[in-house]
């Protein structure tokens, strides 16, 4: 377990000495220690010779003067503009609005329809109850005057009684359809909201398919 630590310490010492040697800042004592390390380890000696050769090649290359202007000689790459999604966003908002309207109209339809159905029997029942009362309260029409010849009871066997068999009660009027107009508007709005919702879903699916393609 102690050998790896010794090798690591030796490797770190070698790297420090060879770095200072390549930079030209290593003192004579350091040069002596580096040479001792290279003499004791052939692998380190080969690595040091390769580093010396690479450093010599780099120093032999001529220095390149930088240009006065540091502007890039080529135009920067143009970033493609993101796809325009204005209509899609508007359509998504319209679809969401249509969905809200659709839910609202369904609720109105569920509330108005039972109310209209319940009010119609009540109005017909009230009309039927008012009819007998009107027939009882209305006085019979004036009977035609009886001829004076029959005033004393003569010829009673030939006298025809006045027909009173017809109904004096007024005919009941049909009950108005309560809430019919509101129900019609609710059904119309329901149809329009359903159509708008279907159109919005179709357009969103079409745009999604185009973006994937």
In DSSP notation, 145-193 reads PPPGGGTTSTTGGGPPPPP--S--SPPPPPPP-TTHHHHHHHHHHHHHH
Between residues 30 and 73, the one the model is more confident about: 30
Rounded to 5°, the CA angle 159-162-164 comes to 150
Give the mean model confidence (pLDDT) for residues 12-18. 88
Between residues 191 and 48, the one the model is more confident about: 48
Residue 80 banded pLDDT, cuts 50, 70, 90: confident
Distances (CA, A) of 207 to 91, 196, 198, 211: 11, 17, 14, 6
List Cβ neighbours of 189 (8 Å cut-off, separation of 6 or more): 101, 105
Cα–Cα nearest to 124, from 169, 175, 79: 175
pLDDT value of position 12? 86
pLDDT in tens, 26-45: 889 988 998 888 888 888 88
Instruction: Reply yes or no on whether the pLDDT at 145 is more than 70.
Output: no
pLDDT value of position 72? 66
Give the mean model confidence (pLDDT) for residues 9-20. 86
């Amino acid at each position: 377990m102690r050998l790896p630590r010794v090798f690591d310490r030796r490797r770190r010492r070698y790297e420090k000495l060879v770095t200072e040697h390549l930079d030209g800042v290593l003192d004579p004592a350091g040069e002596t220690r580096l040479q001792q390390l290279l003499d004791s380890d052939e692998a380190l000696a080969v690595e040091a010779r390769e580093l010396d050769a690479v450093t010599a090649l780099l120093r032999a290359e001529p220095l390149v003067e930088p240009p006065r202007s540091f502007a890039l000689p080529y135009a920067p790459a143009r970033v493609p503009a993101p796809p325009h999604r204005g209509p899609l966003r508007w359509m998504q908002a319209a679809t969401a609005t249509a969905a809200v309207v659709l839910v609202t109209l369904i609720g109105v339809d569920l509330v108005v329809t039972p109310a209209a159905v319940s009010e119609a029997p009540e109005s017909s029942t009230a009309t039927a109850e008012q009819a007998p009362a009107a027939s009882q309260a209305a006085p019979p029409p004036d009977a035609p005057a009886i001829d004076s010849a029959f005033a004393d009871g003569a010829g009673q066997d030939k006298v025809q009684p006045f027909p009173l068999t017809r109904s004096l009660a007024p005919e009941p009027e049909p009950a108005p359809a309560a809430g019919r107009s509101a129900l019609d508007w609710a059904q119309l709005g329901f149809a329009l909201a359903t159509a708008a919702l279907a159109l919005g879903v179709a357009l969103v699916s079409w745009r999604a398919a185009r973006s994937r393609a």
